[in-house]
Amino acid sequence: MKKLVALLLTTVMAMTMLTACGAKEETAAPATEDATVSAALADGVLTVGTNAEFPPFEYMGDDGQPDGFDMALVKAIGEKLGVEVKIENMEFASLVTSIGSKIDIAAAGMTVTEERKQTVDFTDTYYEAVQYVILPVDSEIKAAADLEGKTIGVQLGTTGDFIASDIADTTVSQYNKAVDAVNDLINGRVDCVIIDKNPALVFEGKFEGQVVAVDGAQFEFEIENYAMALPKGDTVLAEQINQAIADLKADGTFDELVKTYIEAE
């Protein structure tokens, strides 16, 4: 009998402890109990990393702050989500590894690639692009085979960099700022620059009469798609941003931004 009482007592104690633990766990749960809000936004701030060297998507505005299509888009997303948007300007090559620590997301005309997907998740894609080849006006480079053995300027860590490195016998000159690559093209230090379509067209306009921007389709380059990069596994944040982008498309804001920042160039 004593044994039975002891056993009963132990069982009751164990159950009480279990319940107590359960209750404790509940109070220790994260402040954001709303499963529709990402923990990344719990502080009311969306910290966005970019590299403001990629017009018209991001560049330094006259006020010394990053401006451009992506910047306007993330600010509009911030408004939809009711959070403040803080922009961190950094090297393009540092963006992916800074997500989840220095920055919440990256908005930088970033192409979705299988390699990047190993480290980060992406939002829905929001813009289609292709790499272009910027050439001196008198260049004889016309097709993919002509790029072999050439010195190619690229922006470090970009898809243009990856493409150039895959071409036979090339010397790839990597720059942190695309404009420096274009300046070296004009100075004759590189034979061409491989960079995304829209910045290529901006540089063609800026250095008119000195360089031309040629469609990468002529060099058999594939179509690329831009998306914002997010911490891996934060599906709640992905859903929130995707919903905001969808809303901005539905209410016409997205098209307005395309007209203002991209098509006006």
Give the footprint of ligand GLN on this chain (CB under 6 A): 51, 54, 92, 108-111, 155, 158-159, 196
Minimum Å gap between C-beta 170 and ligand GLN is 17
- Residue with smaller CB distance to ligand GLN, 38 or 159: 159
Closest CA to 154 of 172, 167, 129: 172
Minimum Å gap between C-beta 139 and ligand GLN is 22
Which amino acid, 146? D
Minimum Å gap between C-beta 228 and ligand GLN is 11
- Residue with smaller CB distance to ligand GLN, 67 or 83: 67
Which ranges of 52-134 does DSSP label H, i.e. alpha helix? 69-81, 92-98, 114-117
Q: Which residues of 195-220 are buried (b: 16+ CB within 10 A; e: fewer)?
A: bbbbbbbbbbeebeeebbbbebeebe
- Residue with smaller CB distance to ligand GLN, 92 or 203: 92
Minimum Å gap between C-beta 155 and ligand GLN is 5
Minimum Å gap between C-beta 94 and ligand GLN is 12
- Residue with smaller CB distance to ligand GLN, 66 or 109: 109
Rg (CA), the chain: 25
- Residue with smaller CB distance to ligand GLN, 41 or 52: 52
Q: How far is CA 213 from CA 22, 135, 197, in A?
A: 64, 6, 8
Minimum Å gap between C-beta 87 and ligand GLN is 14
φ and ψ of 14, to 5 deg: -60, -40
Report which residue's Cβ sits closest to ligand GLN. Answer: 158
Please name the helix (run of DSSP H) or strand (run of DSSP E) that holds residue 180, with its range, or none: helix 178-186
Cβ–Cβ under 8 Å, residues 151 and 171: yes
- Residue with smaller CB distance to ligand GLN, 66 or 81: 66
